[in-house]
Structure 1
Amino acid sequence: MKLNVIVTLCALFSLTRQAPPRDECVCELINSQKAFPHDKLSTVEDNATKCTDNITPQKTLELESLLLGLERRLPQLLEDVSMLEMEDDGDLYAVLSLQVVENELMEIKQLIDRLNGSTLGHQRLTTDTNKQLEDLRAEMMELEAYDTMQVVLRQQDNRRLRRDLEQCKNGLHPTTQPTRPPHGNCPHGEFMNITGPKVYTAGEYPGSYKYGAWGRDPKPEAGKENWYWRVMLTSGNKFSNYVRLYSSLSSLIVGVSTPGNVMIHSSNPTTNTIQGPNVVLYGGALYYNCYNKDAVCRFNLTSKTVTTLQLPKDTRFNSKGNFCHLDECYPYTDLDLATDESGVWVIYTTKQDFGNLVLSKVEEGVPPTLGQTWRTSVYKQGVTNTFMACGVLYATRYVSKDVEEIFYSFDTATGAERFNLGIFINKMPPNIYSLNYSPVDQMLHAYCDAYMVSYEMVFSD
């Protein structure tokens, strides 16, 4: 009986030798199927990864940024040419006006050259990618032949069923809209959402100067309504001693700085130079955290003079009260300067407030003075950034390398706090080191790992 069982078992395979005297048998298992091509699968995976690396949102945004810069630059050129035609005196004024037009034409040419280069690059990328996708599809269809147990097919069916089920559930139970901040007296209506990015550029220093800020002056001097500014922390990612100016958005995108750098001091760092990335420009003056002080500096770009505003006793500074998330803190972000429709604000924290955010209005003047102050119940080191819009303080937090959430608001008119706004920002680089709201065009300017990114703030009106 025992021998019959052994013989029956070995008959299931190709029996190559009779069992030796010790009741053992040696069987050779022959697989009639072709060996699975693991090397080919690895090649397909590598090609798919390369394809994903080549097609990125950054490439699309670069093209959109260039188009936006050109769109805003052409009407300005038309206006300047019309002005030249009307006011041409045939003498010195005409020469100067013509020089302005020539400079603008040069900037537009540079913008178009970059746009053409990007377009050709995208066309080549599209052609190459289409071919790669066709090859990958053919190779995957060949590999599916090895799925004799139809595991992949069942997974595809399961994904399809889960997607249909999710759509059915969402249809029966519409998603509840997140709580929004109160309407208040904002001329634009209620702040509803963030869209974009609209601009994504490294300017003239790709990959350099990780920390900084940029934006527009909400109260520009005459003739500088279209100007943009940029501050880069050039000394150890902590300090800076100048602000860089651009005559238009297209100039900033292509990296043509006119009139160039406006120096605060020849040394960096030193007394009254910039400390930390959270700076703003308002009324032709730069507001920032003074070097090695618990104070706000105001640098007048025309007179090149600096005045200071001392903050309350025990204000945290020198990287002791930073913005943070779980993985890291952003150094020297103790003081955050912000602008909105009403002027300049400073956000900070003190020992007496146990690390919670404190908000104060900065009143214009020489020197500036500290106006009304509000205290909040949100912990500063649980926040990654803040900005102001229509007298409302907004705070963000890090969700992932791709998403930042505007989760908190404090209305200075009513004192109402909200912790569940649920407005999400789609990030390009993973870290946002400064946020500046521009009431001129309702844009939110972010400085992210050496890149300048802007988003459109959507209001109800």
Structure 2
Amino acid sequence: MFSVLLLLLVSPALAWIPIGDWESGNVTASEGDSGQCVCHVFLPDTTFPADRVEHMQEISKDLNIEVNIQMNTLVSYEAKLEVYLKDLSQLTYRVNMLESSSDKYIKLDFELLRIELREFEALVTQLKESLNISSPLFDSLYTEIHNMTMIVNQLEIYDKSNLEVIRIEFAKLQKKLEDCQQDQNFKPVAGNCNGTGIMSLSKPHVIQLNAQLASSYVYGGWAKDSKPLRGYESMYVYGAYSTTYIYDFFLYSNYDQLILRAAFQQNHLPNGWRGLGSNFAVRDHSIYYQRNTNEMSKLNITGTKYDYRVISEASSSFSYSYSSNQHLDFAGDENGLWVIYASDESRGKLIVAKIDEKAFGVVNKWSTDVYKQLAGNAFMACGVMYATRSVDLTTEEIFYSLDTRTGEEKHLSIPFQKFQEKYSYLDYNPTDQKLYMYNNGYYVSYNVKFN
């Protein structure tokens, strides 16, 4: 506000008007020393606030963008919820079948149902937390899952004698299969290393969510022994966490125990031996993993004996594109044990090194033309290193190979589907010719077809 002082000479025509009649609103009047009329006028600041209007326009634009994001998120959650409801109805049908003819099912069926119900509970919890709301729809989902769990528990003890007989017969059959596997003539199937390499991968086989049922456990992996001891051909190893550290390795005797999340052994890594990064390999009953930036560690599964070696040139400046701290990548194939890394001298390009398993040291190495930070991951098969990269959100491709036997490099294009966009682990196993992927917390595998 500002004031303007007006000095008006009082004309004879106005001299009769009292001074009090001039005072109104923002105008005040008084009589000067010489008889003149002095008016004080208070006028508002009429400058247009352009900066304020511009600021409000920016805020309005940001709010509009945020509203659109939230609307798209709600549409996405609505689609997910429809899928969950459809799957839940299928589970309801299976429970009804069990309820009508419980004597025709074995204990494993009930365990699998329990696992699926726990997964549904975890998924609904995740969805509810993402939406940050409470509604009758979510409450009804929780109630239905709880009721189905109670029905499964009741059905399992409905005819306990029949289930026990079936369980015994199933155990006998499993024992016969294990005896066949331990026969001296039994040999694990290995990849055909006489051809020209990998030709294609199958569609992803999504097994299930990890052992902790934790969607946040996105760093880690699962694997089989690439050179198993007799009697451990069917063993699986799993280790993961919500950050790029590994605190525990869980061991499962076979695939069914992996599905049931029934580990026969848990190796808790003590202080000073905890894993860093997501890449590890299992070979000859030992787990090879990265301890610090350039330290490769070895854990003997049987005696829980630890050992380590330093690869001095391995750099902490380079990791795969999907996650950090993956400096040493271990792999086991038909030709032995390997470690893949990058160094400052190679300017971030991948280096393949062969490990002497007895001496636990590097005996040979090969340089590549692949920048590690551009690769999604790498693995070994038949002495050939294969590197992958992203094509789009749902497609990955093997784009490069290096044959350590001949030194020949090839640029490839072998596309394959991804279950979800990012993964932290990819490892080939020669005993079953499969690629094992840890894809955003899920166990995923691929069949590998050689040329």
54 and 242 in structure 1: CA distance in 2 versus 1, 3 angstrom threshold: same
**Does the CA contact (< 8 Å) of 2:192 and 2:450 recur in 1?**
no
Paired residue type of 2:226: P
Partner of residue 130, structure 1: none
* Partner of residue 441 from structure 1, selected from 418, 426, 432: 432
1:319-370 C-alpha deviation (Å, 9 max, x unpaired)? x21112xxxx5111111111111221100011111111000011111x5011
Gaps of 5+ in 1: 1-45, 64-104, 119-183
In structure 2, distance between residues paired with 1:453 and 1:361: 27
In structure 1, distance between residues paired with 2:249 and 2:308: 17
In structure 2, distance between residues paired with 1:109 and 1:49: 30
- Structure 1 residue matching 2:445: 3-state secondary structure: strand
Paired residue type of 2:310: Q
* Partner of residue 351 from structure 2, selected from 358, 375, 382: 358
The Cα of 1:416 is off from its aligned counterpart by: 1.1
**Does the CA contact (< 8 Å) of 2:293 and 2:314 recur in 1?**
no
**Does the CA contact (< 8 Å) of 2:390 and 2:397 recur in 1?**
yes
Find out whether 1:457 has 2:448 as its counterpart. yes
- Structure 2 residue matching 1:111: 3-state secondary structure: helix
In structure 2, distance between residues paired with 1:289 and 1:374: 20
**Does the CA contact (< 8 Å) of 1:309 and 1:370 recur in 2?**
no
Partner of residue 223, structure 1: 231
* Partner of residue 205 from structure 1, selected from 201, 205, 212: 212
55 and 214 in structure 1: CA distance in 2 versus 1, 3 angstrom threshold: same
Partner of residue 280, structure 1: 281
In structure 1, distance between residues paired with 2:80 and 2:110: 32
Q: Over alpha carbons, which structure has the higher Rg?
A: 2
**What is the number of equivalent residue pairs in this alignment?**
292
Partner of residue 307, structure 1: 307
In structure 1, distance between residues paired with 2:433 and 2:115: 27
Find out whether 1:322 has 2:314 as its counterpart. no
The Cα of 1:193 is off from its aligned counterpart by: 0.3
Find out whether 1:247 has 2:253 as its counterpart. yes
The Cα of 1:203 is off from its aligned counterpart by: 3.4
Paired residue type of 1:383: A
- Structure 1 residue matching 2:204: 3-state secondary structure: strand
Partner of residue 327, structure 2: 334
* Partner of residue 336 from structure 2, selected from 332, 338, 343: 343
**Does the CA contact (< 8 Å) of 1:202 and 1:253 recur in 2?**
no
Partner of residue 432, structure 1: 423
The Cα of 1:55 is off from its aligned counterpart by: 4.6
Matches within 5 A, 1:11-50: 50=78
204 and 59 in structure 1: CA distance in 2 versus 1, 3 angstrom threshold: farther
293 and 198 in structure 1: CA distance in 2 versus 1, 3 angstrom threshold: closer
More strand by share: 2
Paired residue type of 1:263: H
- Structure 2 residue matching 1:378: 3-state secondary structure: strand
Partner of residue 267, structure 2: 262
Paired residue type of 2:249: V
1:268-319 C-alpha deviation (Å, 9 max, x unpaired)? xxx23211001111111110111x34121111111211111221x33203xx
The Cα of 1:190 is off from its aligned counterpart by: 3.5
Paired residue type of 1:288: Y
Gaps of 5+ in 2: 1-73, 92-105, 120-190
The Cα of 1:52 is off from its aligned counterpart by: 7.4
350 and 115 in structure 1: CA distance in 2 versus 1, 3 angstrom threshold: closer
**Does the CA contact (< 8 Å) of 2:276 and 2:290 recur in 1?**
yes
In structure 2, distance between residues paired with 1:109 and 1:303: 35
- Give the TM-score, by structure 2 length: 0.59
In structure 2, distance between residues paired with 1:337 and 1:48: 38
Deviates more, 1:298-307 or 1:388-397: 298-307
**Does the CA contact (< 8 Å) of 1:264 and 1:304 recur in 2?**
no
198 and 335 in structure 1: CA distance in 2 versus 1, 3 angstrom threshold: same
**Does the CA contact (< 8 Å) of 2:403 and 2:409 recur in 1?**
yes
1:409-434 C-alpha deviation (Å, 9 max, x unpaired)? 11111111112x11112111210111
In structure 1, distance between residues paired with 2:394 and 2:227: 33
* Partner of residue 240 from structure 2, selected from 232, 235, 244: 232
Partner of residue 169, structure 1: none
